[in-house]
Structure 1
Amino acid sequence: MTRTAPALDIDAILDDPDTRIIVCCGSGGVGKTTTAAALGLRAAERGRSAVVLTVDPARRLAQAMGLTELDNTPRRVNGVNGVDGAGEAGGELHAMMLDMKRTFDEIIEAHADPERAQQILTNPFYQSLSSSFSGTQEYMAMEKLGQLRRSNEWDLIVVDTPPSRSALDFLDAPERLGRFLDGRLIRILTAPAKAGGRSAFKLLNAGFGMVAGILTKVIGAQVLRDIQMFVTALDAVFGGFRQRAEQTYRLLQAPGTAFLVVAAPERDAMREASYFVERLADERMPLAGLVVNRVHRPLAPSLSAARSSAAAEDLDGRGEHELTAAVLRLHAGRMQLAAREQRQQEHFTSAHPTVPIAQVPAMPEDVHDLAGLRQIGQLLAS
């Protein structure tokens, strides 16, 4: 017996004034960015003051919203609800793209005195860490989300999660960064500075000297000094990192947050979606439902793939109506594809029967403007 999933009511989520954060998560390449942008636009045109935070490196969001660029500052999107930036009708939509390094710099500047901040910002190890350390992008996405929520400038924040192997890595990022900065190696490196005076001298001449000698051979003396200077300068600042991350984590668990898992109707993407649903449940995060993008729907569902293929073969055998036979074969392929996609969704529903689902049909071309985003929003709501 085929199990039918409950329908996901997108407009009910967008119209609820208690909904303050929507998080779109899912594996890469399933349309998270487009979904987030479409949700933000639809919310704004239904009267909300919304901001979309994206971390998509492809920068398609800027093009779709008619912005010349996206950066770490939210920018007003013109044309919402058919008015320009000076108009007052409907809500407002802003959009921004996470600048990982700039966000890290802002945190340092805000939570360290000017001298210590300058020591950190100019440190070569910090410059490398803030640009490429594993988990930094996810951590900074959490930081920026917290900043936007604390500013209270928008009544709805839509988050497009980082395109990582596991799109829920941003939930783990604060703990991962904390483990790194609290790790045994880092404690060894900061021990001389914390010990001070003769104690530091003795330590350097004992165990630390041996460890430092090994590290010097592996990474070089200058790099080792850069790491020591960075960690010592950051030590007084990092407590605030963890505290804010914990606050944002609790915010994500609050009733005002709605997680939307985004997937394509393909085996790997639907398996990832199933994992995300289970992980969100484990973390006690409020799941709103599943969005399945790029669903292929047959134009003539009453004509089966088998009948269509048989009719095409018959025409081929008689050497008649080549164009009609080609159309019939295309239809048969489309029916088979739709059947495969339906089976993948049924597997998901069998495992998660209570998760509401919204489907978005496959579009003939990529979304590249507000009209396209508006259409996606309408399809999501329907």
Structure 2
Amino acid sequence: MSIALRTPPVLDVDALLDDRDTRIVVCCGAGGVGKTTTAAALGLRAAERGRKVVVLTIDPARRLAQSMGIDLLDNTPRPVAGAGSDGGTLHAMMLDMKRTFDEIVEAHADPERSRAILENPFYQSLSAGFAGTQEYMAMEKLGQLRARDDWDLIVVDTPPSRSALDFLDAPKRLGSFLDGKFIRVLMAPAKVGGRAGMKFLNVGMSLMTGTLSKLMGGQLLKDVQTFVAAMDTMFGGFRTRADATYRLLQAPGTAFLVVAAPEADALREAAYFVERLAADDMPLAGLVLNRVHGSGADQLSAERALAAAENLEEGGIVDQEAGKADLRDPAAPEGSADALAAGLLRLHAERMQVIARERSTRDRFSSLHPEVPVAEVAALPGDVHDLAGLRAIGDRLTTGQSI
């Protein structure tokens, strides 16, 4: 099946950042495509265009802190020195899953009940690593940040790979667990009274909890039941807040950016993200295509460059070792300049082949998703370690200039 090639619509990143109705930008994508750097560059550029920005990373890697010159990111937004102009400011933070859970407990329970929950062994395990907890707490933190007036733009950097979209599902899963049938069953023994009319139910519950005790272990079951009893008044709030944040992500003030590299695997992942966001009615702003290669001499095709290199080599005047010597020594043997020229032609041909492959991969994606605007970001010669590097990424995000 042939796929028609087309030039994708251009994503206007500055227009997105300048739109005061845009309050949340969510960067999602596969691992290793520069998503964290993109989120940081977007936050910095918005701050230097006059917006009050906070960048929230869920990725446990420390790249965001390093690129912003901060020793350590934690659950508290930290100001980024040297960032912002025209009244704009930049803060950054990294989600602390357990601390966010603790804050919820402390905010919604009285001191005695809060202490009982925080000291409960089952809660400590749940808050530290239960499946879906990180994504749920990311939603909680996003909701908290959005409710404050300190920032007018929140940039969210999600975890790598397809798990980046788990935060769309995890709140529902965790909410279903916390107020689901299993939890209610565990609560029943604590709620059954001593009235005669409840004797039969008591017997049934004893049999049930005896079975659960064998499956889970007596101490674990007791810890769970104690946890559930202490959390009883909070269960409804988890689902309510998760639903509110989910609706916030669907609102017009939110924009999702899918970040990818111009490689087949990364763009397949990007297509998955695009389709999943559409299925969930999430507002997609566009695709950021990172590390795109270009050439100022693209008038010379790979085929012509290779043909010229072969002509030089087949003429009998080129010696590869002489070419190497020419690079090291001005007194290299005669003919080394031709060897160097042939080598450079081959390097140019390789570059043009890379560019052609990247464009073909991009065009395939755009043919399948012609409605998705694309911003191409030229590849930098090295990694980004500071604000200057982030500014360079921001410039490339808005110009699309390849180098």
Shorter-chain TM-score: which interval? Answer: over 0.9
Deviations 1:27-51, CA, capped at 9 Å, x for gaps: 2222111111111100110111111
How far apart, CA to CA, are the structure 1 residues paired with 2:312 and 2:211?
Answer: 77
How far apart, CA to CA, are the structure 2 residues paired with 1:144 and 1:20?
Answer: 15
Structure 2 counterpart SS, 1:354: coil
Provide the TM-score with structure 2 as the length reference.
0.88
Select 2:357's aligned residue among 326, 329, 340.
Answer: 340
Provide the TM-score with structure 1 as the length reference.
0.92
Q: Which residue of 2 aligns with 1:362?
A: 379
How far apart, CA to CA, are the structure 2 residues paired with 1:96 and 1:137?
Answer: 15
> CA distance change for structure 1 residues 303 and 224 in 2, over 3 Å: closer, same or farther?
same
> CA distance change for structure 1 residues 217 and 328 in 2, over 3 Å: closer, same or farther?
farther
Q: Which residue of 1 aligns with 2:392?
A: 375
Q: Which residue type is aligned with residue 205 of structure 1?
A: V
Aligned counterparts, 1:110-129, within 5 A:
110-129=107-126
Aligned counterparts, 1:152-231, within 5 A:
152-163=149-160, 165-198=162-195, 202-203=200-201, 205-206=203-204, 208-231=205-228
Structure 2 counterpart SS, 1:7: coil
How far apart, CA to CA, are the structure 2 residues paired with 1:218 and 1:290?
Answer: 48
How far apart, CA to CA, are the structure 2 residues paired with 1:238 and 1:163?
Answer: 30
How far apart, CA to CA, are the structure 1 residues paired with 2:198 and 2:283?
Answer: 49
Q: Which residue of 2 aligns with 1:98?
A: 95
Identify unmatched segments of 5+ residues in structure 1: 82-87
Q: Which deviates more, 166-175 or 300-309? A: 300-309
Q: Which residue of 2 aligns with 1:85?
A: none
Q: Which residue of 2 aligns with 1:76?
A: 79
Task: Say whether 1:281 aligns with 2:284.
Answer: no
Task: Say whether 1:238 aligns with 2:235.
Answer: yes
- State the shift of 1:258 in Å: 1.2
- State the shift of 1:178 in Å: 1.5
Q: Which residue of 1 aligns with 2:9?
A: 6
> CA distance change for structure 1 residues 311 and 231 in 2, over 3 Å: closer, same or farther?
farther
> CA distance change for structure 1 residues 68 and 162 in 2, over 3 Å: closer, same or farther?
same
- State the shift of 1:299 in Å: 4.2
> CA distance change for structure 1 residues 336 and 225 in 2, over 3 Å: closer, same or farther?
same
- State the shift of 1:75 in Å: 0.9
Deviations 1:135-181, CA, capped at 9 Å, x for gaps: 11111111111101101211111111123533211111110101222
Q: Which deviates more, 50-59 or 102-111? A: 50-59
Task: Say whether 1:66 aligns with 2:69.
Answer: yes
Structure 2 counterpart SS, 1:157: strand
Q: Which residue type is aligned with residue 58 of structure 1?
A: A
Task: Say whether 1:138 aligns with 2:135.
Answer: yes
> CA distance change for structure 1 residues 311 and 252 in 2, over 3 Å: closer, same or farther?
same
Task: Say whether 1:349 aligns with 2:366.
Answer: yes
- State the shift of 1:182 in Å: 3.1
Q: Which residue type is aligned with residue 349 of structure 1?
A: S
Select 1:44's aligned residue among 43, 47, 58.
Answer: 47
The answer as to whether partners of 2:179 and 2:235 remain within 8 angstroms in 1 is: no
Structure 1 counterpart SS, 2:123: helix
- State the shift of 1:314 in Å: 3.9
> CA distance change for structure 1 residues 323 and 125 in 2, over 3 Å: closer, same or farther?
farther
How far apart, CA to CA, are the structure 2 residues paired with 1:340 and 1:115?
Answer: 63
- State the shift of 1:95 in Å: 0.7
Q: Which residue type is aligned with residue 277 of structure 2?
A: L
Identify unmatched segments of 5+ residues in structure 2: 320-337
Q: Which residue type is aligned with residue 341 of structure 1?
A: E
- State the shift of 1:361 in Å: 1.3
Deviations 1:270-304, CA, capped at 9 Å, x for gaps: 11211211222222221111101111223421222
Q: Which residue type is aligned with residue 67 of structure 2?
A: A
Q: Which deviates more, 162-171 or 18-27? A: 162-171
Task: Say whether 1:24 aligns with 2:21.
Answer: no
Task: Say whether 1:33 aligns with 2:30.
Answer: no
How far apart, CA to CA, are the structure 2 residues paired with 1:251 and 1:281?
Answer: 16
Q: Which residue type is aligned with residue 53 of structure 2?
A: A
How far apart, CA to CA, are the structure 2 residues paired with 1:268 and 1:100?
Answer: 30
Deviations 1:339-370, CA, capped at 9 Å, x for gaps: 22212211111111121100111111111000
Deviations 1:307-359, CA, capped at 9 Å, x for gaps: 33333344444333443333333322222222222122111111111211001
Structure 2 counterpart SS, 1:93: strand
Select 1:15's aligned residue among 18, 41, 51.
Answer: 18
How far apart, CA to CA, are the structure 1 residues paired with 2:83 and 2:138?
Answer: 26
The answer as to whether partners of 2:29 and 2:270 remain within 8 angstroms in 1 is: yes
The answer as to whether partners of 1:55 and 1:163 remain within 8 angstroms in 2 is: no
Task: Say whether 1:247 aligns with 2:244.
Answer: yes
Q: Which residue of 1 aligns with 2:257?
A: 260
Give the length in aligned residue pairs. 375
